[in-house]
């Protein structure tokens, strides 16, 4: 670990933390000194591997399994965190489903599944963690998606859910400012990740040209989230922050 410990004493929950961007977020928060609660839906080995990596580097973490689409499971996650560590300072709503299907072929069940896991889960997570966050002021970060701003074929359900996170973030920032809670949406662009269980890159990323000439790494997203969780990010709230190497120039 580095000597930078700007998050020492803080406790952070990261959903969907077993791989790719979620894993990087968990590792970087721990490197900055935070105690990290690693959430995945059901792959205990995956979650335990992230915890082991954090502990091997001298950090502190635990794994809590639970379906983010289930309000009771998210409440259990928050309760387990407070029981173990006495507080919650940050929740990073990273879990999502990245499905691809044309609107002609998409069933309502597919639509609803994406909404449940990507958008509704953020609501459940915030509601469950809010009493603990309010005790000392805290940080809420929702992880969006660039396709919600650029558009993409075969991803109407994913784009709608990710766009919803942007509006949810702005509402949270207004509602929770008096409680000294910040809320921001961090939007990854073309990041070097793979699909679960395969070595395939997300197909829609292949059409996104960056100014840097290269794809980003999960660390690039995690670094911004660490900043927003730390003392330097306390004046940043209600924002949608793009991490995409210049592939999208939105506001």
Instruction: For residues 41 and 43, give the distance between their C-alpha atoms in angstroms, rounded to a whole number.
Output: 6
Q: What are 93's two structure tokens?
A: 């709503």
The whole-number pLDDT of residue 191 equals 86
Please check whether residue 171 is in contact with residue 228, taking contact to mean a CB–CB distance below 8 angstroms. no
CA distances (Å), origin 73, targets 66, 68, 112, 130: 5, 7, 18, 15
Place of tokens 């635990």: 62
DSSP summary character for residue 3: S
Sign of CA pseudo-dihedral 114, 115, 117, 122: positive
List, run by run, the mean pLDDT of 10-residue segments along the chain (251 residues): 78 97 98 98 96 98 98 98 98 92 94 97 98 97 89 91 97 98 94 62 57 86 98 97 82 54
3-state secondary structure of 203: helix
The whole-number pLDDT of residue 150 equals 85
Domain boundaries, the chain: 11-243
The whole-number pLDDT of residue 148 equals 76
DSSP H or E run through 135:
helix 121-136
Instruction: For residues 175 and 81, give the distance between their C-alpha atoms in angstroms, rounded to a whole number.
Output: 24
Q: What is the largest CA-CA distance in the chain?
A: 53
β-pair type (35-40, 11-14) = parallel
pTM of the model: 0.91
The whole-number pLDDT of residue 146 equals 86
The whole-number pLDDT of residue 195 equals 55
CATH 2.40.50.100 applies to domain 11-243: no
């Amino acid at each position: 670990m580095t000597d930078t410990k700007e998050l020492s004493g803080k406790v952070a929950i990261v959903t969907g933390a077993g791989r790719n961007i979620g894993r990087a977020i968990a590792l970087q928060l721990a490197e900055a000194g935070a105690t990290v609660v690693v959430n995945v839906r059901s792959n205990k080995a995956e979650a335990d591997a992230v915890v082991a990596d954090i502990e091997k580097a001298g950090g502190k973490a635990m794994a809590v399994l639970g379906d983010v689409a289930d309000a009771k499971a998210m409440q259990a996650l928050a309760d387990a965190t407070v029981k173990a560590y006495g507080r919650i300072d940050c929740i990073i709503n990273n879990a999502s489903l990245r499905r691809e299907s044309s609107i002609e072929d998409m069933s309502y069940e597919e639509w609803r599944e994406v909404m449940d896991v990507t958008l509704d889960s953020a609501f459940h997570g915030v509601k469950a963690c809010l009493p603990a966050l309010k005790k000392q002021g805290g940080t809420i970060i929702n992880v969006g998606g660039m396709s919600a701003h650029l558009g993409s074929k075969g991803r109407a359900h994913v784009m709608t859910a990710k766009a919803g996170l942007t509006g949810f973030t702005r509402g949270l920032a207004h509602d929770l400012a008096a409680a000294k809670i910040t809320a921001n949406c961090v939007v990854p662009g073309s990041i070097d990740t793979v699909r679960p269980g395969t070595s395939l890159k997300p197909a829609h990323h292949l059409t996104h040209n960056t100014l840097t000439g290269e794809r980003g790494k999960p660390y690039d997203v995690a670094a911004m989230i660490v900043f927003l969780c730390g003392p330097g990010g306390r004046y940043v709230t209600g924002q949608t922050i793009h991490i995409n190497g210049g592939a999208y120039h939105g506001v």
